[in-house]
Chains A and B, each alone.
Chain A
Amino acid sequence: MNAKQPTWKQNLFRHEAILLVVLIAEWIFFDAIGRNFGTYDNSCDILRHSCEIGLLALAMTPIILTGGIDLSVGSLLGLCAILFGKFWRDAHLPIPVAALCTLGVGALAGGLNAALITRLRLPPLIVTLGTFSLFRGLAEAITQGVDTFTNFPNSFLFLGQERWLGIPAQAPIFIGAVIFFWLLVHQTTYGRTFRALGFAPEGVRFAGIPVERRIAMTYVLAGIISAIAAIIYTARLGQAKADAGNGYELYAITAVVLGGTSIFGGTGSVHGTLLGVAAIAVLQSGIVHALQPSEMAGMLTGALLILALTSSVLPKMISGLRARKSALKLSKPIA
């Protein structure tokens, strides 16, 4: 029987393989034409620059796997950043405590999304569109736009700017998150439930799995991760301001979808997302090193996204046709 290979997995495989090739190709290309691109220093910078968006993309992956979406992560990053600043400067909390409080805020904000989506059964797109404005708005209202938090102690800035054991200091956190999400999505029943939800939410309910709780979990997680990203971001810039993380939600979604996660949910993977993040980050850095205007990066990202999508559709079309033909031939053994 030539239906031997399950096609959905086939596509997944194909997609990530393609993306990996693209990534390596990018690397080689920019290394060739770009000045000092392939250096260790630059690699570290790429890693450092992709940490925040990388984190958000990781958190976005389970959400999109369940067929949801979260537009509010960027704004939430901004809100958390300035609240972190407030906790530290105005409430005179020590950095670690301030950080913890910030995580709390992130969790609460994520909880708000989750509650509206699961309790009231509202479409995630709309809910998070609303909180997208709300969180950013609160950030601006609290700081009145002007208030900027800065002069953080060096011990804290280290987290965002220095190297630790030869790698950017924030990298361990990012890598930790990667491992966490990879295990969560690919090695635990939660991840499996997320997929199932993306395919058939009703089916999951009928299997006796607490659907609402699982969905809520993904949004709360996203909230917490946004908070972590906010702290790293603050450390990297050495300042917290209401405009932090503007537009990050779109970068994150782009990375996730580029990574082969279906926007309808179900199929997708964390390593795919990782590849997506890397592909974009490398592109952005590479463009600068190739002395090309950074608009190029945006345009190429868009093009890449469309290509990735089409490449994931065409094989399905083909295999669909093939299945139709084969069905006629091989019906004997079945009946």
Chain B
Amino acid sequence: MSGELLQLTSVAKSFGAVRALKGVSFDLKAGEVHALLGENGAGKSTLIKVITGAHQPDGGSIQIDGKDVGRLSPASARKLGIACIYQQPALFPDLSVTENIGLRLAQAKAFSRVNWSSRRQQAQQLLQRIGAEISPDAEVRSLSMPEQQLVEIACALGAGARIVIMDEPTASLTQKETHLLFAVVRELRKNGVGIIYISHRLEEIFQLADRVTVLRDGESIGTNRVDEMNEASLIKLMVGRDISAIYPPAENAAGEVVFSLKNFSCTHGGVRNVSLEIRAGEILGLAGLVGAGRTELARTIFGITPADSGEMFLNGEQIEINSPQDAVTRGIAYVPEDRRRHGVILEMPIAQNMTMAIHKRFFPGTWLRFGAEKQLALDYIRDLSIKAYGPEAPGNALSGGNQQKVSLARWLATKPKVLILDEPTQGVDVGAKSEIHKIIRSLAKSGLAVLMISSDLPEVLGMSDRIGVMRAGTITSTLPGKSDAPTVMAAALGQKGAGA
């Protein structure tokens, strides 16, 4: 167990105009858990993709066992014993669990024979080892998100990897599954495997990790032994300033109730009788783990998966929403979580993206008004200080933060009464992040009712006037905006009485 298992020196990577990694150095010893910490968009995922060979770095070197490996391809990375559990499971939806595991573990030799029985056994064992009750024959598309996560973990285990990367593996796991996972991780460590562990849950890092490296803004802020650190110091490292400082002050302009739900459910959407109220000028933060049903709730409100029971009120009047069209006409706006797939149409100019939701109103008789559109775009580019070379710029020429602003602009253009934000700052660099926060706050000031979903705990705490915590498809508790992290997290994890 001597020396570095993995050694990265000043690795750089850019996407178009965005510089995801600005020369990061990082090392991993055999038999240690090295936590990688950083806000969304700090460059963690990119770093991982570089290590797994999914991305080719633009600069820097990668050494394994002190040997320079040059350009890594996914295949060669696997041969070198690198396995990764991605945030979104990278599995074949059409194939069975056994096959997925098999394909991942077998060497890519085109004409070798597939031994199904052994593959099946192997799959079974691996799944048992992490205590997952999944049939090896199930088609992956039929599995839930956390189940797919577990399959991923099983793959990594089976690969007998010497370097295992876990990108927020517990994000969508239940407590039981999480504990099993920790056991697995510890076992791996015992066997001299090096583990790169990425998580937003500081408590996990203190339970599990030996060392922690903090990334910020594509740069490594420093590596420390975990036992020399505490939450506060870590957070300080992560965000570079004290939390309270970076969020615009929340003055509760408690207007009258604009929007409210009563026993609002969408069974196959996974939303169970939710009740909530949002006042004019108020930001209601929605905390909870991934898979707690927050996005599902938003989509149900917005009419993508229409509700099957419960009531919805807008300005006191009961309304029904069966499609996004209804929502838009009612003045409900939804800035979706998956910016690249739902928020912005990357190939189209940002001007066209901004008017996408107001075709009816903005283009009377469906005739396009290019001049007016350009003007509108220019206004938003100015107001939201979007960094782009013009209304003509296609979405994919913008950085994540600016894409998010475009997506925001699209919905501001609809002059909404209720604004639903789903992970508004996910994958956004720190600069743009605080700008977006300011925008949200000023919108609230202007009398909008804002519902803000976020997995980024500091954000929820910093922005919200009130915090709703969701678990298993319903709002379990509503806390005041000034609550502290442990309380919220406890509520999210469903630990009774913790903190509060």
Contact = CB atoms under 8 A, between A and B. Distances in A.
A328 interface: yes
Most buried by B among A206, A267, A327: A206
Contacts of B429: 335
B18 A1 contact: no
B345 A199 contact: yes
Contacts of B84: none
Interface stretch (B113-121, B156-164, B231-239, B386-394): B386-394
Nearest to B17: A334
A203 interface: yes
Interface in B372-414: 387, 389, 392-394, 397, 399, 410
A306 interface: no
A64 to B, nearest CB: 16
Interface stretch (B24-32, B98-106, B139-147, B321-329): B321-329
Interface stretch (B261-269, B276-284, B336-344): B336-344
Interface stretch (A2-10, A124-132, A133-141): A2-10
Contact of A200 (B15, B324, B345, B410): B345
B347 interface: yes
A96 B452 CA distance: 60
A53 B296 CA distance: 47
A292 interface: no
Contacts of A331: 14, 17-19
Contacts of B341: 200, 202-203
Contacts of B323: 208, 210
A6 B359 contact: no
Given A209-B359, A334-B387, A323 B16 contact: yes
A200 to B, nearest CB: 5
Nearest to A210: B325
A189 B324 contact: no
B368 A188 contact: yes
B366 A189 contact: yes
Interface stretch (A171-179, A190-198, A238-246, A274-282): A190-198
B16 A3 contact: yes
Given A187-B367, A327-B17, A328-B58, A206 B334 contact: yes
Most buried by A among B17, B18, B367, B429: B17
A316 interface: no
A199 B346 contact: yes
A205 interface: yes
B170 interface: no
B284 to A, nearest CB: 21
Interface band, chain B: 35 or more
Interface of B is mostly: mixed
Nearest to A200: B345
A199 B343 CA distance: 13
Contacts of A195: 348
Given A188-B368, A190-B366, A196 B17 contact: no
Contacts of B342: 200, 202-203, 206
Given A203-B345, A208-B327, A209-B359, A328 B367 contact: no
A330 interface: yes
Interface band, chain A: 35 or more
A207 interface: yes
A209 B356 contact: yes
Interface string B185-213: 00000000000000000000000000000
A327 B19 contact: yes
B16 A208 contact: no
B347 A199 contact: yes
Interface of A is mostly: helix
B336 to A, nearest CB: 5
B14 A187 contact: no
Interface string B342-358: 11111111001000110
B60 to A, nearest CB: 12
Contacts of A6: 349, 392-394, 397
A110 interface: no
Interface in A187-236: 187-190, 192-193, 195-196, 199-200, 202-210
B304 interface: yes
B42 to A, nearest CB: 13
A4 B388 CA distance: 10
Nearest to A192: B352
B399 A334 contact: yes
A268 interface: no
Interface string B89-129: 00000000000000000000000000000000000000000
B359 A193 contact: yes
Interface in B224-271: none
Nearest to B218: A335
A266 interface: yes
Most buried by B among A205, A207, A323: A207
A317 to B, nearest CB: 16
A266 B394 CA distance: 13
Contacts of A202: 341-342
B357 A207 contact: yes
B345 A189 contact: no
A202 B392 CA distance: 22
A170 B371 CA distance: 36
Most buried by A among B16, B304, B341, B367: B16
Nearest to A198: B347
A97 B334 CA distance: 49
Contacts of B19: 327, 331, 334-335
Interface of B: 12, 14-19, 22, 58-59, 217, 304, 323-325, 327-328, 334, 336, 341-349, 352, 356-357, 359, 363, 366-368, 387, 389, 392-394, 397, 399, 410, 429, 431
21 contacts: A3-B397, A4-B389, A6-B392, A187-B368, A188-B367, A190-B366, A192-B352, A196-B348, A196-B356, A200-B345, A206-B342, A207-B324, A208-B323, A208-B325, A209-B325, A210-B323, A210-B325, A327-B15, A327-B16, A327-B17, A328-B14
Q: Top 9 nearest A-B pairs by Cβ distance?
A: A208-B328, A327-B14, A208-B324, A189-B359, A207-B356, A331-B19, A206-B342, A188-B366, A189-B366
